[in-house]
Amino acid sequence: MGTLALLDALWEMPAEKRIFGAVLLFSWTVYLWETFLAQRQRRIYKTTTHVPPELGQIMDSETFEKSRLYQLDKSTFSFWSGLYSEIEGTLILLFGGIPYLWRLSGRFCSYAGFGPEYEITQSLVFLLLATLFSALTGLPWSLYNTFVIEEKHGFNQQTLGFFMKDAIKKFVVTQCILLPVSSLLLYIIKIGGDYFFIYAWLFTLAVSLVLVTIYADYIAPLFDKFTPLPEGKLKEEIEVMAKSIDFPLTKVYVVEGSKRSSHSNAYFYGFFKNKRIVLFDTLLEEYSVLNKDIQEDSSMEPRKEDEGNSEEIKAKVKVSSFFLRDSTLMNSFLCFFLFAVLIGRKELFAAFGFYDSQPTLIGLLIIFQFIFSPYNEVLSFCLTVLSRRFEFQADAFAKKLGKAQDLYSALIKLNKDNLGFPVSDWLFSMWHYSHPPLLERLQMFTLKSNVMKDSQFLKLYVSLLHISVHFLNENLLCA
């Protein structure tokens, strides 16, 4: 009876109070759920102190312990930073931080001679102040993560001066992109009439395509040095592999990631017939391709075992790619359509302290960040499940190409180099991991021969293999 009475009392509250209470309740529900999952995984880190039997011959005890301690430190950091973030967000809502920042933005505009009718100008000042607040409050956490945790475990390569210069540069570049794009979006919404949501959707789609296209050529070089991969055996191997799977590769770059971290990484970008691969120089450490050609290694000769109908796998993955791409576009359109339906509801604005005005930017913030939060959580989980499926498809494609043993060995090597912990709680993994855990991926391979010898070439070569075939899974426009 007590619970029912409480629910009845909540339902009798004004609509704006119910909305505000529901937003806070859901936010803390998600936080507690995430904390519960994190504690399950943390228990795995604490109790799994020996190499699992299935990894006994491929992972030594020293590396296993290093990865366990690294993940424990990251888990502790994640708990405290997550708790701070949740408390900060709650206090901002409870004490009217959003309307206060909007009024403060208005005062700054009035000092410059802009009245309330200049809503877009005030919105840009609001965005500038909000991102500045976020950057400043997040700075101590970022410093601790970089110079304590990453430094302790041998990954950090940055100096404090480089870190601060980089942070300032990131903030400035972000504003140079965020403010013009936001002003145009707000203007489109203002003048778009009844069908503004269609124009806004098309605009955001166009901006996304442009940013993805220019990022690696014009934005990323502002922060890191990119150089073409020199001619040699490695480049030849990459080009041959790309050609064998119809990957429209035009260029291969090396990025100087080692000045930030010793973590290894790689990615590709581009559209249609113009795709490029970017390798972090940490993947090339102890590898002589930058100075001379690779010596022939008979262990890397393509094997015929486990080959199958790779065209069939490729076709299936392309269908999945189109499905993901179209689903993403439809989801974006749906969100803008629902925004158009809800933007006129004054109680939504009143719930967050806006009783006399309904600024468009605030409407975007309320609806996309708070009202859509349950939907976003469900969507995020579904995309995580879909991404894991695509990763398994990429693994299957590599296996069909006869590269199962290479990929098997490379996954182990990359996991060791980045101190990934190979054991995961099933529920934590299911909810968080867009890439399957190491053990799950290794179980996909049934190898008759022993694992190949550990080599830098192996790590790099098969990393590129997986990057190349993985392009079939991405939600980019296919060739």
Non-local (6+) Cβ contacts of 425 within 8 A are 37, 40, 41, 43, 44
Residue 408 pLDDT grade (very low, low, confident, very high; cuts 50, 70, 90): confident
Q: Per the domain annotation, does 409 fall within a domain?
A: yes
List the single range of 52-56, 170-174, 456-460 with lowest mean pLDDT: 456-460
Closest CA to 56 of 423, 441, 428: 423
Q: Which of 89-103, 251-265, 275-289, 391-405 has the highest mean pLDDT?
A: 89-103
Q: Per the domain annotation, does 163 fall within a domain?
A: no
CA dihedral angle for residue 444, residue 64, residue 59, residue 37, rounded to 10 degrees: -10
Q: Is the pLDDT of residue 457 over 60?
A: no
Average pLDDT of the segment spanning 368-378: 93
Residue 321 pLDDT grade (very low, low, confident, very high; cuts 50, 70, 90): low
Average pLDDT of the segment spanning 336-345: 94
Same domain, 375 and 465: yes
Q: Which residue has the higher pLDDT, 72 or 325?
A: 72
Please identify, among 270, 289, 308, the residue that sits at the C-terminal boundary of a domain: 289
Average pLDDT of the segment spanning 427-453: 70
CA dihedral angle for residue 367, residue 368, residue 369, residue 374, rounded to 10 degrees: 90
Task: State the pTM of this model.
Answer: 0.82
CB 108 within 8 A of CB 123: no
Q: Per the domain annotation, does 154 fall within a domain?
A: no
440: Cα separation from own chain's centroid = 21
List the single range of 352-361, 368-377, 417-426, 451-460 with lowest mean pLDDT: 451-460
What's the pLDDT tens digit per position in 214-243? Answer: 887 889 889 988 888 888 888 888 888 888
List the single range of 155-164, 186-195, 254-263, 355-364 with lowest mean pLDDT: 254-263
385: Cα separation from own chain's centroid = 15
Average pLDDT of the segment spanning 413-426: 86
Burial of 473 (0-12, 13-18, 19+ CB in 10 A): buried
How many other CB atoms are there within 10 angstroms of residue 264's CB atom?
21
Q: Per the domain annotation, does 202 fall within a domain?
A: no
Please identify, among 272, 289, 306, the residue that sits at the C-terminal boundary of a domain: 289
What's the pLDDT tens digit per position in 88-139? Answer: 999 999 999 999 999 999 999 999 999 889 999 999 999 999 999 999 999 9
Residue 368 pLDDT grade (very low, low, confident, very high; cuts 50, 70, 90): very high
pLDDT for position 33: 97
List the single range of 95-99, 298-302, 445-449, 461-465 with lowest mean pLDDT: 298-302
Q: Per the domain annotation, does 437 fall within a domain?
A: yes
Domain span holding position 265: 236-289
Q: Is the pLDDT of residue 9 over 70?
A: no
Q: Per the domain annotation, does 350 fall within a domain?
A: no
CA distances from 78 to 34, 36, 74, 134, 236 (A): 11, 13, 6, 17, 42
CATH number, position 277: 3.30.2010.10
75: Cα separation from own chain's centroid = 18
| 226-228 β-sheet, strand order | 226-228, 249-255, 274-280, 266-271
Q: Which residue has the higher pLDDT, 417 or 339?
A: 339
Q: State how far the Cα of 174 lies from the Cα of 128, in Å rounded to an integer.
A: 10
Counted domains in the chain: 2
Q: Is the pLDDT of residue 318 over 60?
A: no
Q: Per the domain annotation, does 454 fall within a domain?
A: yes
Residue 81 pLDDT grade (very low, low, confident, very high; cuts 50, 70, 90): very high
pLDDT for position 263: 85
Q: Is the pLDDT of residue 405 over 50?
A: yes
Q: Is 391 annotated as a binding residue?
A: yes
CA dihedral angle for residue 449, residue 451, residue 455, residue 456, rounded to 10 degrees: 110
pLDDT for position 322: 57
The 10 Å CB-count burial string (b at 16+, else e) for 165-191 is: eeeeeebeeeeeeebeebbebbebbee
pLDDT for position 412: 80
Q: State how far the Cα of 110 lies from the Cα of 116, in Å rounded to an integer.
A: 8
CB 356 within 8 A of CB 404: no
Q: Per the domain annotation, does 389 fall within a domain?
A: yes
Average pLDDT of the segment spanning 304-315: 50
Please identify, among 249, 270, 289, the residue that sits at the C-terminal boundary of a domain: 289
